[in-house]
Structure 1
Amino acid sequence: MNNPSLDDHVKQTIQVGSKSFAAASALFDPPTRRSVLMLYAWCRHCDDTIDDQVLGFQAKQPQSTMIEQRLADLRKQTTAAFIGETPLTPAFSALRQVIVTHQLSQQFAFEHLDGYAMDVAQARYQTIEQTLCYCYHVAGVVGLMMAQIMGAKSHDVLDRACDLGIAFQLTNIARDIIDDADMDRCYLPEQWLAEEGLTRENYAQPQHRSALSRVAAKLVDHAEPYYHSSYQGLRALPFRSAWAVATARRVYRKIGQRVKQAGAGAWQQRLSTSRGEKLVLLVAAVGDVLLSRIMPITRRDASLWQRPQ
């Protein structure tokens, strides 16, 4: 049953929290879009709670004891949503509706919270494999949950959705390197930093922007096979869902390309795509969906990320 006040809450959440995803989400059919926004509202709330921010802005690092309690509260309220306890706050009411409507996987939801636990523990990432593990938890499992909402059931399609989430997060990391550093967070593989003569302590200093841009470019390049893999899942989705996913795929990939092209100037302002560019990418995404449906698949590549079963 629809809840007008809850619907207004989730619409406002995505309009302020993610203009890139908001544009793509408008392409879903109404029932799917509503569930997608409900899930996004819960994810945004969890992120805001851990980072002490409002809809993705004005983030700051809370005291360690405070942040540990916040994570514990998120786990407790998520459990309440799955077992049907009431009353629930808006974000968890939204999650509850997705659980009921789509039989959302409890494993995926708690694996997502495990990503925030990595932030709480101030995890360090020595290798790209460790960075990818973080990407799986904070974004790959979101792709899995989104795919469940769209009706995906096969492991192959779910794996492609997971790959797309990982590609998105690799792009986000490259774009937000300096913002993350301001919160004393670094998701870049320290091995890659060392190859450029950088350390965890100095990589964000202004005089190292050229070297840092090469690390960011490498991260953007690493996302490319994941974007490619995700394309293989479009044909299994309903047309409007595939169109929305293909649009988001093009928008985020464009942001990554922009980070790479900007070089040392990539962090002078937050890089994004304009409304006109989003429209062009939206139209191009129609071609992606149609092509995915008419091109024969002679060989199905394995998903890049081997998610836990």
Structure 2
Amino acid sequence: MLAPSRILRPTMAAAGGGRMRAPLVAKARSMIEKGSTSFTAASLIFRKGTRERVWLLYAWCRRCDDIADGQTLGGELGDQSDLQGRVRGIKALTRRALEGQPTADIGFDAFGQVASEVGLTYEDADEVIKGFELDANGWRPRTEEDLMRYCYHVAGAVGVLMARVMGVPRDSHEVLDRACDLGMAFQLANIARDLDEDDAADRCYLPQEWIARADIPPGEHMKPPYRFATAALAARLIDRMEQHEDAARLGAAHLRFRQRWAILSAARIYGAIGRKVRDRGQLAWNSRVYTSAPEKVWHVFAAFWEALVNRPFIPAEMPRYGLHDFASPAIAPPPPLDDEG
């Protein structure tokens, strides 16, 4: 017999939607191992507690990206219909996860678990979701500032979440700024590497002003007659990547040794991908650019010594755009004025 509605009780809130933490961590680990060998290699350097939280956060990022792009673990782009509906779904599942309610999705339950452990909020998550909204609305960057705004939302904001997972306080503005820089560096490398894949999906993240100044007709940047000019624009992306990468090292210097080692490993591995794109020129999109297993091992060992010495050089020029240019005031309040301000 069905129970009368008056005696039914709402689902009790519980971190991770009520899932047991250990199986949730195991699923999240499987997702990062299948979704990104680069991030997997770097994540293994963290201490156990941080490593597991990194995996949980990655699982949410991966699922959001897959839902928005119709992918499976970052594979080929799928059906691009009803993108706005997918973003609404991401928002609803994220809110439900933060409320401790089951979502029937490993990625979102994983986010609910890690958010409860380190104090992440919906406002934190929404900074990332705004990047998916840009894609859902068919947005394309007109200027370099537009490009960097996109990079902030889809990756810089993830860098900030990653720093919070590692225990960086909300008021550590300098470290959070530099964490944002690292995420933006990763995204610039991604954009340069994936120009052909994005073009096939009718997406382009090169600023329209750059394309016009290079005398490339709209929508033609991946056509053979314009590959050389496009390679120059990709090199420009990697130059920006290196600025953010160098700035990120200043923030890594404030982390504990194993955290610093892991972050510098990721920076070296992803930076190498970007530099390969630049070095290959117009041939960069003939085959997918990646770092091999031996190369990853080399970068991890090189990062060990860099982390041990911990003397990052001061860049001659800091990035033009960063966290305080794009984040909502709740995420990144303006830094205090100096004595002359």
Corresponding residue number in structure 2 for 1:101? 117
Query: Which has more radius of gyration?
Result: 2
Could you list the runs of 5+ residues in structure 1 that have no partner in the other structure?
none
1:216·1:260 contact (CA, 8 Å) conserved in 2? yes
Aligned with 2:148 (options 132, 136, 154): 132
- Measured in 2, the distance between the counterparts of 1:156 and 1:304 equals 14
Post-superposition shift, 1:290? 2.1
1:122 pairs with one of 134, 138, 152: 138
Correspondence for 2:292 among 274, 278, 283:
274
- 1:169 equivalent in alignment to 2:187: yes
Deviations 1:128-160 (A, max 9, x none): 110000000000000000000111121110110
How is 1:5-16 mapped onto 2 (pairs within 5 angstroms)? 5-16=23-34
When residues 95 and 268 of structure 1 are mapped into structure 2, their CA distance, relative to the original with a 3 A threshold, is same
- Which residue is 1:221 aligned to? 239
Contact 1:61 1:183 in 2 (8 A): no
Contact 1:39 1:98 in 2 (8 A): yes
Shift of 1:241: 1.1
Kept in 2: contact 1:32–1:149 (CA 8 A): yes
Structure 1 counterpart of 2:277: 259
Question: Which amino acid in 1 is paired with 2:306?
Answer: D
Structure 2 distance, partners of 1:259, 1:278, is 17
**Using the alignment, how far apart are the partners of 2:259 and 2:42 within structure 1?**
10
The alignment status of 1:59 with 2:77, answered yes or no, reads: yes
Q: TM-score, normalised to structure 1's length?
A: 0.94
Determine the C-alpha separation between the residues in 2 that align with 1:142 and 1:254: 20
> How many pairs were matched up?
305
The reply on whether 1:305 has 2:322 as its aligned counterpart is yes
Partners of 1:75 and 1:157 in 2: CA distance? 28
- CA displacement, residues 257-283 of structure 1 (integer Å, 9 cap, x when unaligned): 100000010001110111111111111
Deviation per CA, 1:94-115, whole angstroms, max 9, x where unpaired?
0011111100143221010000
Residue type of the partner of 1:266?
A: A
Deviation at 1:3, TM superposition (A): 3.1
Give the share of equivalent positions with the same residue, in percent: 38
The offset of 1:243, in angstroms, is 0.7
CA RMSD of aligned residues (A): 2.0
2: CA distance, partners of 1:145 / 1:235: 18
Distance 2:20 2:40 in 1: 20
The whole-number CA distance in structure 2 between the counterparts of 1:56 and 1:191 is 29
In the alignment, residue 191 of structure 2 is paired with which amino acid? I
Structure 2 vs 1, CA of residues 200 and 18 (structure 1 numbering), >3 Å: closer, same or farther? Answer: farther
Residues 191-244 of structure 1: per-residue CA shift (max 9 Å, x gap): 111122113321121332111101100110111111111000112212111111
Q: Is the 8 A contact 1:27 1:241 kept in 2?
A: yes
AA in 1 matched with 2:189: T
**Structure whose residues are more often helix by fraction:** 1
Matched, 1:287 2:328: no
Instruction: Please give the per-residue CA displacement for 1:64-96, whole angstroms capped at 9, x wherever unaligned.
Output: xx2221111110111111222235421111001
Quick check: 1:150 aligned with 2:166? yes
* Alpha-carbon separation, structure 2, partners of 1:191 and 1:300: 23
Task: Quickly say closer, same or farther: Cα 1:134–1:9, change in 2 above 3 A.
Answer: same
Please name the residue that 2:13 is paired with.
none
Distance 1:168 1:290 in 2: 23
In the superposition, relative to structure 1, how do residues 284 and 230 fare at CA in structure 2: closer, same or farther (>3 Å)? same
> Whole-Å Cα distance in 2 between the matches of residues 123 and 199 of structure 1?
18
- Does 2:37 match 1:19? yes
Give 2:268's match in structure 1, choosing from 243, 250, 255: 250
Q: TM-score, normalised by structure 2?
A: 0.85
Give the structure 2 partner of residue 111 of structure 1.
127
CA–CA separation in structure 2 for the residues paired with 1:84 and 1:143: 24
Unaligned runs of 5+ in 2: 1-18, 333-341
Distance in 2 (alpha carbons) for counterparts of 1:246 and 1:97: 26
